[in-house]
A and B are shown apart, each in its own frame.
Chain A
């Protein structure tokens, strides 16, 4: 019986806003927006407070709340929440991106604003719950719950193909998570506990069964990440979702998949993880190259960004399945980086779309002269996304490549330098498609869109104050992580080293048993 207020407060504080919104007149759109923004800022504030209380040197779970929730027969499901180095940054990323996304909807969402904000704040609760939950069942409930608001966000406020995209998103994710549910039930019944720390301590699952359980969890998470070849829901969902939805989808929801691997697959099934590492890393490398090539051929800006996610998340997966400290730390940092950079890209795409109502490359070109501030911001974000040294993307990708290289040494988990070598090509490809996108929009002769917008009665304008405020915090972190990543690594390192120890013990165990 432990109770610590802070993590619960962070997770459920958005509900306070939801309750307040329920009683507001849905015609008072601006008031609704302010209430939602204020709520998400308060949540962000509390999460910063939580960060202050967080002891970075302690690898264990902190600020634990553990209450018995459902106790029947020999089951014991607990309300078990906590924070550690693996999740703290993702929690902060969630609370950080939510107010930014809400700010981005200020003029973009005019229809049913109240419902939109309610769903958005509920989504935040779900995501935070996923990152805090330490009981498999609680995790599953939060995990499934995030589907519901996102489904509505895409389906009601999305683009022309929104219904198809919403259903596809829902069914894909649910397909994976139902198999995970069976694995969770198996663990609960046979190991007698649903609490993750307890299960890690118990360990001792025969390799044959670990394999099945690993696969059941892995499919659920791989769909969410998404790993090639389970990625086909992603372009639809991203392109159809409203801007704020895309930001959260790319920024946080995809990370739930990689986080799942990190939190559950690696420590719960360490032997199976080692066995599957070459396969997972191989799929990750395929995803990196495939995502990059497909991105290059897109005619739609948002689709390009969506496919680039497949490539970037491939890096994260490669880092995680290098199964060493560098790889995993790089992977976690790259989750944050991707959230910042791709989140920013989606915001920027949304900002231009709001003015032009098209995202097809053909009509763009030469916007730099008309929109210098927008162009500058876009350039920074583009460079960050392709991994230019000095910006955040580089730090993450470089660390991952180091980890993958280390794991590629003879006798290590991956056992081949090819993984690191091929994924380095992905970095080059990223430069090609990202710069191609930048060039198409900003350089060259003026595109037809300038005329089209003029004909409609208003000229293209540069970013306004609200839009700059929306994007500026992201830029701060893009530079901060790029120039001085040490505090970020300091937060995650102890927990990662703890995880690596579990994996090393399992590797020893495997060698013995062979």
Chain B
């Protein structure tokens, strides 16, 4: 009989707070009149802010809970805070948008909160079973959110598509977990590594299991060739949901991959690294090349997000090398931060230009923005430059850290593919800048307080942090220290 120890709850305190808040919000929302759903948004944001407080209070603490099922360490704290901020952005981008598009319902905010609970659990998972639970917990609200603009066929299609492929990829993960369990007689990440070390594990079986887990998460982070759903879902889903999905689901997916691969499977590095490197290369190439052909902003950004998954995957080629791995993983989570910031900024501006019935989403709708709204055009330029990795933006540093990790483990071909695809990406990012500044048009923009605050602050962060990237990278490095 296992005695329940109250200390088990400590590592997941922020999770509990947010879950309780989300459930309460679901009930409270019933009593908020339909025309005042802004209050729900505000309450949801307050919940997130409160949880950020709890998460920050855990800085520097470490510990295991529930017999080693969940873990609290620098890595999880860093990502928890990042994910909670992601949630705040998801709410502030949606606040005016939902009203404008006539799909304002209180559930949106609770669903965002539930999804974040899943993402945070993913960052704290120390056991493959928990990884799976977290995966489902973060995904199911996202399926609903993708279809949130229902009666709109594109949104419903997005929801169904995301659901089917999500379920499919979930199957891969479960099957992979089962094989790993078969190979090592355990699902605890630490014990898997120990079993591999001690030689008691069945290596071929473990390899098959890890490959299946990789495939499952490949779907979640939209790595090629598991990316097929991304453009349709990103385009069809309501734009704030897309923004939230692009950042949040990617962060959570990579969090799980980083934790599982760098703690459970370093012994398989020799076999897995080439596969990961090829996945990274394919993802960068396909994402960037196909993005060139897009004329719809949402699709272009969807392919760009695939491409960025490829860049982050580069961090994994170093995971078996104990000297470089910490820096590489730190580079990976640093990149996630830069990506999240830039991502929310650029989606914010997409939202500002979007009109009802999917209008205002073509690249040509941005013509003349440089004259009409110089500040917004300047911010979008900053985001595009950041995505392309051009100074003075945060994106440049994100790329540089990743490339240096790849160069440090002598994967020169991958680094060269990385820089060449960056060049391709510069082409389509610049094209948007060209359209904004060098073509004439009359774009219609929406000005909403929360929305403006979002993209202006993201642009400011992108530029200002690019002069002092070291401290952010320092946090990221400290965060991954405990992983190894």
* Cross-chain contact of A72 among B390, B412, B474 (Cβ < 8 A): B474
A156 neighbours in B (Cβ, 8 Å)? 437-438
Q: How far is the CB of A307 from chain B (nearest CB, A)?
A: 26
Contacts A144-B390, A182-B415 given; indicate if A72 touches B403 (C-beta within 8 A): no
A182 to B413, CA, bound (A): 11
Give the contacts of B44-60 with A (CB-CB under 8 A). Answer: none
Give per-residue flags for B400-421: 1 if the beta carbon is below 8 A from chain A beta carbons, else 0: 1001100110001001100110
Answer whether A185 and B434 are a contact pair too, CB < 8 Å, given A73-B327, A178-B422: no
- Asked whether any CB of chain A lies closer than 8 Å to the CB of B430, the reply is yes
Q: Are A189 and B434 in contact (CB under 8 A)?
A: no
A181 and B391 contact, CB distance less than 8 A: no
Q: Given the complex, which residues of A lie within 8 Å of B230, measured CB to CB?
A: none
B225 at the interface (CB under 8 A from A): no
B477 pairs with A72, CB closer than 8 A: yes
Select B469's contact among A70, A145, A147, beta carbons within 8 Å.
A70
Report the nearest A residue to B439, measured CB to CB. Answer: A163
* Residues of B with C-beta under 8 A to A505: none
Quick one: which of B418-450 are within 8 Å of A by CB? 419-420, 422-423, 426-427, 430-431, 434, 437-438
Whether B403 and A70, one on each chain, are in contact in the complex, defined by CB atoms closer than 8 angstroms, is no
A167 to B424, CA, bound (A): 12
Mark contacts of A174-200 with chain B using CB atoms, 8 A cut-off: 1 yes-contact digit, 0 otherwise.
Answer: 110011011001101100000000000
Q: Does the CB pair A155–B438 fall under 8 Å? A: yes
**Do B434 and A167 touch (CB < 8 A)?**
yes
Chain A residues within 8 Å of B474, by CB: 72
- The answer to whether A436 has its CB under 8 Å from any CB of chain B is no
B470: which of A69, A144, A152, A185 is its contact (CB, 8 Å)? A69
Task: Compute how far the CA of A166 lies from the CA of B430 in the bound complex, rounded to whole angstroms.
Answer: 10
Kindly identify, within residues 66 to 91 of chain A, every residue whose CB is under 8 Å from any CB belonging to chain B. 69-73, 75
Q: How far is the CA of A148 from the CA of B470 in the complex (A)?
A: 24
Is the interface on chain A under 10, 10 to 19, 20 to 34, or 35 or more residues? 20 to 34
- Does B423 lie within 8 Å of A174, measured CB to CB? yes
Contacts of A179 in B (CB 8 A): 416, 419
Chain B 447-484, CB-CB to A under 8 Å as 1, else 0, gives 00000000000000000000001100110010000000
Give A188's nearest chain B residue, CB to CB. B404
Contact flag A145-B419 (CB < 8 Å), given A70-B470, A71-B470: no
In the complex, the chain B residue whose C-beta lies closest to that of A75 is B404
Task: Return the chain B residue nearest A151 by Cβ.
Answer: B430
Q: Are B427 and A171 interface neighbours, CB within 8 A?
A: yes
A166: which B residues are within 8 A, CB to CB?
434, 438
CA distance A341 to B20 in the complex (A): 74
**Is residue B396 within 8 Å, beta carbon to beta carbon, of the partner chain?**
yes
Residues of the B chain whose Cβ atoms lie less than 8 Å from the Cβ of A147: 390
Q: Is B385 an interface residue (CB 8 A)?
A: yes
Is A181 a contact of B403 with CB atoms below 8 Å?
yes
Q: How far is the CB of A25 from chain B (nearest CB, A)?
A: 13
Residues of A within 8 A of B437 (CB): 152, 155-156
Which of chain A's residues has its CB closest to B327's CB? A73
Residue in A69, A175, A182, A189 whose beta carbon sits within 8 Å of that of B423 in the complex = A175
Is B392 interfacial (CB-CB < 8 Å)?
Answer: yes
Q: Would A141 and B396 count as touching, CB distance under 8 A?
A: yes
| Distance between Cα atoms of A73 and B385 in the complex (Å) | 27
Indicate whether A170 reaches chain B with its CB closer than 8 angstroms. yes
Task: Please indicate the chain A residues that have their CB under 8 angstroms from the CB of B422 in the complex.
Answer: 178
Looking at the complex, which one of B408, B412, B420, B470 makes contact with A178 (CB distance below 8 Å)? B420
Partner of B419, one of A71, A152, A155, A178: A178
Question: In the bound complex, do residue A178 and residue B404 qualify as a contact, i.e. CB atoms below 8 Å apart?
Answer: no
Interface centre among A151, A167, A171, A181 (most CB of B within 10 A): A181
A33 CB within 8 Å of chain B: no
B-facing residues in A106-155 (Cβ within 8 Å): 141, 144-145, 147-148, 151-152, 155
CA gap between A155 and B403 in the complex, in Å: 30
8 Å CB contact of B426 from A70, A162, A171, A181: A171
B390–A162 contact, CB under 8 A? no
- Within 8 Å CB of A152, what residues of B? 437
- Asked if B419 and A162 make an inter-chain contact with CB atoms under 8 angstroms apart, the answer reads no
Residue of B with least CB distance to A144: B391
A162 to B439, CA, bound (A): 11
Given A73-B477, A148-B385, A189-B408, verify A162-B403 contact (CB < 8 Å).
no
Task: Give the Cβ gap from B432 to chain A, nearest Cβ, in Å.
Answer: 12
Contact B423 A178 (CB under 8 A): yes
Please report the C-alpha to C-alpha distance between residue A73 and residue B422 in the assembled complex, in whole angstroms: 25
Q: Is there contact, CB below 8 Å, between B423 and A167?
A: no
Cα(A188)–Cα(B408), bound, Å:
10
Question: Once the chains bind, are A72 and B473 in contact (CB under 8 Å)?
Answer: yes
| Assembly CA distance A72 to B434 (angstroms) | 36
User: Are the C-beta atoms of A162 and B438 separated by less than 8 Å?
Assistant: yes
* Chain B residues, CB < 8 A from A151: 430
Contact B419 A181, beta carbon cutoff 8 Å:
yes
**Which residues on the B side are within 8 Å of A167 (C-beta)?**
427, 430-431, 434
- Shortest B88–chain A CB gap in Å is 28
**A48 → B minimal CB distance (Å):** 28
Query: Smallest Cβ distance from B211 to chain A, in angstroms?
Result: 30
Taking a contact as CB atoms closer than 8 A, the residue among A145, A148, A185 that contacts B403 in the complex is A185
B391 proximity list for chain A (CB < 8 A): 141, 144-145, 148
Which of A145, A174, A185 makes the CB contact (< 8 A) with B400? A185
Contact status A170-B470, CB under 8 Å: no
Interface pair A182/B426, CB less than 8 Å apart: no
**CB nearest neighbor in B for A70:** B470
- Give the residues in chain B near A175, CB-CB below 8 Å: 420, 423
- Pick the contact of A155: B408, B415, B434 (CB < 8 A): B434
Give A132 Cβ to nearest chain B Cβ, in Å: 16
Proximity bits, A434-472, B CB within 8 Å = 1, else 0: 000000000000000000000000000000000000000
Contacts A70-B469, A72-B473, A178-B419 given: A189-B404 contact, CB under 8 Å? yes
In the assembled complex, the Cα of A199 lies from the Cα of B342 at a distance in Å of 35
Tell me, rounded to whole Å, the shortest Cβ–Cβ distance linking B378 to chain A: 10
For A144, A151, A171, A182, the residue with the greatest tally of chain B CB atoms inside 10 Å of its CB is A182
A185→B426 contact, CB < 8 A: no
Known: A72-B473, A189-B408. A182 touches B434 (CB 8 A): no
Residues of B within 8 A of A178 (CB): 419-420, 422-423
Q: Answer whether A181 and B400 are a contact pair too, CB < 8 Å, given A155-B434, A167-B427, A186-B407.
A: yes
Judging by beta carbons under 8 Å apart, are A170 and B407 in contact?
no
Residue of A nearest to B404 (CB): A185
Report the separation of the CA atoms of residues A6 and B431 in the bound assembly, to the nearest whole angstrom.
Answer: 39
User: Which residue of A has the minimal Cβ distance to B466?
Assistant: A141
Q: Which of A72, A75, A141, A188 contacts B392 (CB 8 A)?
A: A141
Q: How far is the CB of B405 from chain A (nearest CB, A)?
A: 9
The distance from the CB of B410 to the nearest CB of chain A, in whole angstroms, is 10
B426 and A170 contacting across the interface, CB-CB below 8 Å: yes
- Closest residue on chain A to residue B334 by CB atoms: A72
Q: Identify the closest chain A residue to B397 (Cβ).
A: A70
| Distance to closest chain A CB from B370 (angstroms) | 8
9 contacts between A and B (CB under 8 A): A71-B470, A72-B477, A144-B396, A145-B390, A152-B437, A156-B438, A171-B427, A185-B403, A185-B415
- A sample of 5 more A-B contacts (CB under 8 A), given A141-B392, A178-B422, is A73-B327, A155-B434, A167-B427, A170-B426, A174-B426
8 nearest interchain CB pairs? A178-B419, A70-B470, A185-B407, A141-B391, A185-B404, A145-B391, A155-B438, A72-B473
